[in-house]
Structure 1
Amino acid sequence: MTEDIATDQPPGIGSKRRRLFWYELLECARRGHRLAGTDAARVRGEDAVLVRDFGDGFRWHRCLRCDAWLPVRPAAHPQREFPPGRQEIEIPLRGKPLRDRYVLRLIALDRLLHFLVLGVLSVAVLGFAHERRRLRGPFYRTMDALQNGIGGPTGRSGQGLLGELGKAFAARSSTLWAIGLVLGAYAVLEGVEAVGLWLTKRWAEYLTFVATTVLLVPEIYELAEGRVTPTKVLTLVINVAISVYLLIAKRLFGLRGGGRAEAAERARDTNWEALERVLPGPPPH
């Protein structure tokens, strides 16, 4: 049995691991440290990887996620005689698997934003296609009144936004319905990607990679044609980074050992050997 305990104790006392960005620290800051055996009456020598008792009124428990040593008073009413055995403890995500979950969820948030924007656009286009006949007359009367008031051209001519709205009213209904349905289907695709990535599903990684790389073609084409904007450049950079990350770091399509190597790496970072491999030094006493 393990439990999350929030504390202000600095992580990694004596830890031999050093990282530029410590995802375990971030996770423990969000959810509390993961400790085991806080409800035990006594501590054995074999429990030293989890908890140590120096007889000073505190027991030093090791966080199974970030390797911090935390002082905890022994339970007033113990629920068990000794800390749980290894077979009873589920080691939390740590190392590369934890980092990958954060990255995948960041991509999922990006896909969620796409889902919301495309969903709103789809509803707007379909709603406009359905109500276009009723809106056509009031639209042109309003535009004529506005343009007469400022001395501009009247009728169905015009540039900029007014011109684009005029084209929308002149478009065939079938075209508008097709555009709305395509936007809706794309929104659903982005929503499925967001859910799958948030749950760290392998199939979502493949789906996101394929969908993202397909969209790189029109994005590069627009930039090559000279239609360069900061937003388009930023979008291209983000999508290229996502594609490279999924392909290389997540070992898609058998790259770098594929799914088996990915599973082996995950197991290597979340087993007891990993805890022993980076066993922190003894806490102060």
Structure 2
Amino acid sequence: MDFSLWTCAFRGHETYAPDEPALAARLHVATPAGEAWRCLRCGDFAPGEPRRRGPADDAPEVPRGHLLRDRIIMRLLAAERVGRALVLILLAAGVLKLRSSQESWKSNWEQELPLIRQLADQIGWDPDHSKIVHWIDTAFTLSPTTLIWVAVALFAYAAIQLTEAVGLWLVKRWGEYFAVIATSIFLPLEIYELTEKVTFLRAAALIINLAAVIWLLWSKRLFGLNGGAKAYYAEHHSESLLTVERSAVAAEAKPAT
């Protein structure tokens, strides 16, 4: 898939008219239908007025090629982190609500449990050996103070997920480091849970997180890997179409030897 063309089809071409005449000449072409400017994202010429004008140094940074693909992947990871955070926030709110009416919830649960058992028999589920049922029963035995700490821990975990999401969505260097560190901390716990029982959700969560850590470490050159920060910034600079054209203008301006 050509992510540059796909993004241009969705958001429109990113054309820019630099003030420098020699550079503008390389990005502009006259056609029978009028002028056309080269898109900084996909490289094609788009007819009509440029979207923006100004000095070349003020041109927007437009990711293209595999850098654009990486940005899309990072934003998908950010969306997944937001989903996790919302689930954690809902759980924390449920814990706080349980604390305020613990006895009432326990009474309702005991009344509904026989109906749950009848349904479970029909679908072949054993609630007596279910961890969810066990957790619910345990929650009713916790003190109000303990429930507050559980809610605080869930809110804190949600905050970590949201911080990851913000950093990844904005494609910030600190967000890449934060995501790798925060995700790696919980990998041992996820592996331990799989040793107790393998489920689809647990396995999927571990695979996603492990793949995200490895991909971020290598592709974003974190902690000195794959060339480190110097190679990371050089890659971003060299991928810019405007940078390529400026280099071409500079090469043409050099006197022949």
Same fold per superposition (TM over 0.5): yes
Identity %: 34
- 1:167 CA drift (Å): 2.8
Question: How large is the RMSD of aligned CA atoms in angstroms?
Answer: 3.4
Distance 2:94 2:109 in 1: 16
User: Could you tell me which residue of structure 2 aligns to residue 244 of structure 1?
Assistant: 214
Matched, 1:268 2:238: yes
Q: Please tell me whether the aligned partners of residues 237 and 243 of structure 2 are also in contact (alpha carbons under 8 angstroms).
A: no
User: Could you tell me which residue of structure 1 aligns to residue 45 of structure 2?
Assistant: 69
- 1:165 CA drift (Å): 3.3
Letter of the 1:259 partner, please give it.
Answer: A
User: Could you tell me which residue of structure 1 aligns to residue 252 of structure 2?
Assistant: none
- Aligned with 2:3 (options 17, 23, 26): 23
Q: Please tell me whether the aligned partners of residues 65 and 91 of structure 1 are also in contact (alpha carbons under 8 angstroms).
A: no
Q: Please tell me whether the aligned partners of residues 64 and 275 of structure 1 are also in contact (alpha carbons under 8 angstroms).
A: no
Question: Cα gap change, 1:139/1:259 in structure 2, threshold over 3 Å: closer, same or farther?
Answer: same
Distance 2:58 2:182 in 1: 41
Distance 1:173 1:113 in 2: 28
Of the structure 1 ranges 102-111 and 166-175, higher mean CA displacement relative to structure 2 is found in 166-175
Distance 2:189 2:176 in 1: 21
Tell me the matched-pair count. 238
Higher relative contact order, structure no. (Cα contacts within 8 Å, ≥ 6 residues apart) = 1
- 1:263 CA drift (Å): 1.2
Distance 1:62 1:203 in 2: 32
Q: Please tell me whether the aligned partners of residues 187 and 206 of structure 2 are also in contact (alpha carbons under 8 angstroms).
A: yes
Q: 1:157-195, CA deviations, whole angstroms, 9 ceiling, x for partnerless residues?
A: x83566553332123333322222111110111111111
Distance 2:226 2:155 in 1: 36
Q: How does 1:18-167 map to 2 (within 5 A)?
A: 21-37=1-17, 47-54=24-31, 56-72=32-48, 86-87=56-57, 89-90=59-60, 92-140=62-110, 142-143=111-112, 159=128, 160=130, 164-167=135-138
Matched, 1:170 2:141: yes
- 1:112 CA drift (Å): 0.4
Q: Please tell me whether the aligned partners of residues 119 and 183 of structure 1 are also in contact (alpha carbons under 8 angstroms).
A: yes
What's the TM-score, normalizing by structure 1? 0.71
Matched, 1:216 2:187: yes
Which runs of 5 or more structure 1 residues have no equivalent in the other structure? 1-20, 76-82, 151-157, 279-285
Instruction: Determine which structure has more spread, i.e. the larger CA radius of gyration.
Output: 1
Letter of the 2:27 partner, please give it.
Answer: L
Letter of the 2:232 partner, please give it.
Answer: E
Q: Select the structure that is richer in helix.
A: 2
Distance 2:60 2:47 in 1: 21
Distance 2:191 2:199 in 1: 12
Which runs of 5 or more structure 2 residues have no equivalent in the other structure? 120-126, 249-257
Distance 1:163 1:224 in 2: 19
Distance 2:57 2:160 in 1: 40
Q: Please tell me whether the aligned partners of residues 23 and 246 of structure 2 are also in contact (alpha carbons under 8 angstroms).
A: no
Distance 1:145 1:176 in 2: 26
What's the TM-score, normalizing by structure 2? 0.78
- 1:236 CA drift (Å): 1.2
